[in-house]
Chain A
Amino acid sequence: MARIELTGIQKKWGSVWGVRDVDLDIADEELVVFLGPSGCGKTTTMRMIAGLEDPSDGEIRMDGEAMNEVDARDRDVAMVFQGYALYPNMSIYENIRFPLRMRGVPKAEHDARVRQAAEMVELGDYLDRKPGALSGGQRQRAALARAIVRQPQVFLMDEPLSNLDAKLRQAMRVQIKHLQRQLKITTIYVTHDQIEAMTLADRIVIMEGGRVQQIGTPDEIYSDPANTFVAGFIGSPPMNLVRGRLDGGRFTAPGIDIAGIGIEGVRDIVLGVRPEDCHVSADGAHLSGQVFGVEPTGDMTYLTIRTDGVNIEVKADRDYRSELDVTETVAFDRDRLYFFDGETGQRIRQA
């Protein structure tokens, strides 16, 4: 229904940068997640697409049409807010109907469309209630129904699940993805929760400090991070990042020694290795250190190894157990090692 292009988008408040140099091309029917820590500019970018903020510079296009000068109410965009933003004085029915009234949809269609939208989010029985009489999950669904009722070109969702408990969040996540596929509406979803991002997204846009760090599918973001920020942000526990020295294809750091790396030169470098790519092993070990913590979780055991003040997280077997402060050796999966420039944090690929 709509393709969104952002070109050179900037947002500056006085001397404070909110968003810098964002270029992004979102395909029709795509579900793109903006992911990043708070203050990274993801919500601001979304609000600029909604028309609630004006970009300081750059261009926003929808289906090729410039949107910068178009008022929020004239963009065919529906937004779901973090705090739901239901109109407290109106019943759920009137809340869902509000966009239809405002957009001049013929009155005769209202009832059928409101009921259909409410059915899609399983809220049909609550139409007479006021928002105050609903639970958090129901309010969230009412907000969703209000967004889908007029079948907009674009959905914008600003951390819609962050006020729900974990179980409800999972259920709503599935529901949102299902609705999006069913309605085939281009969707932008803002979150700081990497699980939400990984599970929902066709593509993830990782932001930090107002800049885009990487754009890619969840798989790409996870297995091919562009820099240390992305590497350290995604994954639970996140990727281990260890500062060390590279010399003649050999990486050394306290307790760590890896030879045969396909990167030339002598330089400071950061090694990245995911906890699941670390294996407790007596032979061929790359890492040797003291056991600092052992956390059984049932299906696996989190093992923390400490070497010279640096902690390395390892996902060990479910039946792994150990005393603390004994020496343990770990082998890394050689095909899954990542290297980053010691200064810029940018990825350096092996030859």
Chain B
Amino acid sequence: MASQRGSRGESLLVRYLILTAWALFCLAPVLWFLSIGLRPRTEIVTPQPIYWPTFSLDAWHMIWSDWPMAAYLRNSVLAVIGSVLIDLVLAIPAAYSLARYTYRGREDIGFYILSTRMMAPAIVAIPIFFLFRNMGLLDTVWALMLIYAAINLSVVTWIIRSYMLDIPKELEDAARTDGASDMRILWEIIIPAILPGIITAGVIGAIFAINEFLFTLLIASTSRAYTMSVALANFTGGSDGVIYNAIALVAFLAFIPVFLVVVAIQKHLSRGLTMGAVKG
């Protein structure tokens, strides 16, 4: 008995060691960025190895004083949140339709929606530019919301649909005989049951959106609409050359909101809310 417990303890220790090593390995790029961002610019570009790095807030001061970083961050957050909300409002009914109703061409429509994701975005870049110019939306956060939503709608729809397919049909039959309309079933039964799926889809949409570069560059021209991802590009050109420590720090800042969101909803990502709905 005692030896059993001993070996159990050991295997637990080994497991934690492996997990810790893996966590550090995954975190390495993030920590590396932070380390670059908090060192003087000269130290980063020197070819000699450095054993004892110098701490410096140069990059930190620079990005806040020389650049409207707060505006970039605000634009990113607003555009991402807005686009995810638009996506969810459109994707949930669409996914429900694709998952539950049978009609001609349902599978084709499903594939067509997904295929928008397979197209090279550059193909539509010029038309999109003219479209937004004609609507007077160039250089606005509204335009970013719309374009991010459009890009991610297919993926978000597809993810939510796959969660909906896992809901037992019996649950909907029960609600229907209880007297619920389709919209009631969607709102009171389906959506609560697939909340983890909706959150997952939203987070994936948000990650895609915050990293979006091409269309943001096309639409944004000033700090009214510049986002973190485009701001990064600001440090690569110009008379100052490539400012590595600032890039690293901005990349780190862009990573934080996504990181916080994921930590906050981690519980929902792994927990299946359909537990206990049917036998088992």
Contacts and interface: CB of A to CB of B under 8 A. Distances in A.
Contacts of A47: 173
Interface in A204-224: none
Contact of A136 (B173, B175, B279): B279
Nearest to A78: B177
A133 B173 CA distance: 23
A82 interface: yes
B237 interface: no
Contacts of A171: none
Given A85-B168, A89-B192, A102-B184, A52 B276 contact: no
A127 to B, nearest CB: 15
Interface residues of A, number: 35
B263 to A, nearest CB: 24
B173 A81 contact: yes
Interface string A137-171: 00100000010000000001000000100000000
A84 B276 CA distance: 10
B166 interface: no
B170 A82 contact: yes
Contacts, number: 97
A12 interface: no
Contacts of A98: 175, 178, 180, 188
A87 B177 contact: no
Nearest to A52: B173
Given A89-B192, A89-B273, A84 B177 contact: no
A226 interface: no
Contacts of B173: 47, 50, 52, 72, 79, 81, 85
B177 A130 contact: no
Nearest to B195: A89
A88 B276 contact: yes
A63 B109 CA distance: 43
A122 to B, nearest CB: 20
Interface of B: 168, 170-171, 173-181, 184, 188-189, 192-193, 195, 273-279
A103 interface: yes
7 contacts: A73-B179, A83-B277, A87-B189, A88-B274, A89-B192, A98-B175, A132-B275
A70 to B, nearest CB: 12
A102 B192 CA distance: 17
A72 B184 CA distance: 14
A134 interface: yes
Given A81-B173, A83-B168, A102-B184, A88 B178 contact: no
Which of B176, B184, B189, B193 is the most central at the interface, judged by chain A CB atoms within 10 Å of its CB?
B176
Given A52-B173, A132-B275, A89 B193 contact: yes
A249 interface: no
Interface string A83-99: 11111111000000011
B198 to A, nearest CB: 13
Given A81-B170, A83-B170, A52 B275 contact: no
Nearest to B274: A88
A131 interface: yes
Nearest to A71: B176
Contacts of B188: 87, 98
Contacts of A81: 170, 173-174
A77 interface: yes
B273 A88 contact: yes
A52 B171 contact: no
Interface of A: 47, 50-52, 72-75, 77-79, 81-90, 98-99, 102-103, 130-134, 136, 139, 146, 156, 163
B273 A73 contact: no
A99 B278 contact: no
Given A86-B277, A133-B276, A134-B276, A79 B174 contact: yes
Contacts of A156: 177
A88 B189 CA distance: 8
Given A50-B177, A73-B176, A99-B178, A83 B276 contact: no
B274 A146 contact: no
Contacts of B193: 87-89
Contact of B176 (A52, A86, A90, A130): A52
Contacts of B277: 83-88, 131-132
Nearest to B177: A79
A73 B180 contact: yes
A136 B278 CA distance: 9
Given A88-B273, A136-B279, A73 B181 contact: yes
Nearest to A74: B179
Given A84-B278, A89-B273, 16 more contacts: A77-B177, A78-B178, A81-B170, A82-B170, A83-B168, A83-B170, A85-B168, A87-B171, A87-B175, A89-B189, A89-B195, A98-B180, A131-B276, A132-B276, A134-B276, A139-B276
Contacts of B170: 81-83, 85
A146 B178 contact: yes
Closest 5 CB pairs of A and B: A132-B276, A83-B278, A102-B179, A89-B192, A85-B174
A79 B173 CA distance: 9
B177 A73 contact: yes
Contacts of A163: 279
B189 to A, nearest CB: 6
Contact of A102 (B171, B178, B273): B178
Which of A90, A102, A132 is the most central at the interface, judged by chain B CB atoms within 10 Å of its CB?
A102
A50 B173 CA distance: 9
A148 to B, nearest CB: 12
Contacts of A99: 178-179
A130 B170 CA distance: 18
A229 B278 CA distance: 33
Nearest to A87: B189
A102 B193 CA distance: 18
